[in-house]
């Protein structure tokens, strides 16, 4: 293989020649071909999927996703507790007024919040 910066477990693909195939680096130097282990691919078609044979069509419940749906985030409901907390919030825009000095008759460093 090429003198690349690799570590044990890295994968390389040889696309030509008699050594064509996919290899994983085992123990040893990556520059020594014998350090690479050939990964063998299946030599036949898959015979079953999830215990089914023949033409297989899987549903979400076949793979443990029966309760999953593709509802958009905007269409998802929120809990009663969350809605109650949101209902208690004040709506509207606010203006924050900070006074550094004390105008006549006002306390110093006063902060006033006004609703719009």
Q: Is the pLDDT of residue 23 over 90?
A: yes
Q: Is the pLDDT of residue 2 over 70?
A: no
Q: Name the pTM for this structure.
A: 0.37
What contacts 13, CB < 8 A, 6 or more positions away? Answer: 21, 22, 23
Give whole-number Cα distances, 90 to 43, 82, 93, 94, 102, in Å.
67, 15, 9, 10, 29
Residue with tokens 């036949």: 44
Q: Is the pLDDT of residue 99 over 70?
A: no
Distance CA 1, CA 22 (A): 11
User: 49: how many CB neighbours lie within 10 A of its CB?
Assistant: 13
Distance CA 78, CA 73 (A): 10
Residue 1 — pLDDT band, cuts 50, 70, 90? low
Position 37 scores a pLDDT of 93
Give whole-number Cα distances, 16 to 12, 20, 21, 22, 30, in Å.
12, 5, 8, 11, 19
CA angle 88, 90, 96 (to 5 degrees): 145
């Amino acid at each position: 293989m090429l003198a690349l910066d690799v570590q044990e477990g890295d994968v390389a693909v040889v696309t030509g020649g008699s050594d064509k195939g996919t290899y994983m680096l085992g123990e040893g130097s990556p520059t020594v071909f014998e350090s690479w282990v050939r990964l063998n691919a299946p030599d036949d078609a898959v015979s079953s999927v999830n215990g089914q044979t023949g033409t297989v069509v899987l549903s979400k419940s076949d793979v443990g996703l029966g309760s999953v749906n593709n509802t958009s985030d905007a269409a998802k409901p929120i809990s009663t507790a969350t809605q109650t907390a949101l209902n208690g919030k004040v709506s509207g825009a606010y203006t924050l007024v900070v006074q550094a000095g004390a105008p006549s008759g006002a306390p110093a460093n006063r902060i006033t919040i006004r609703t719009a």
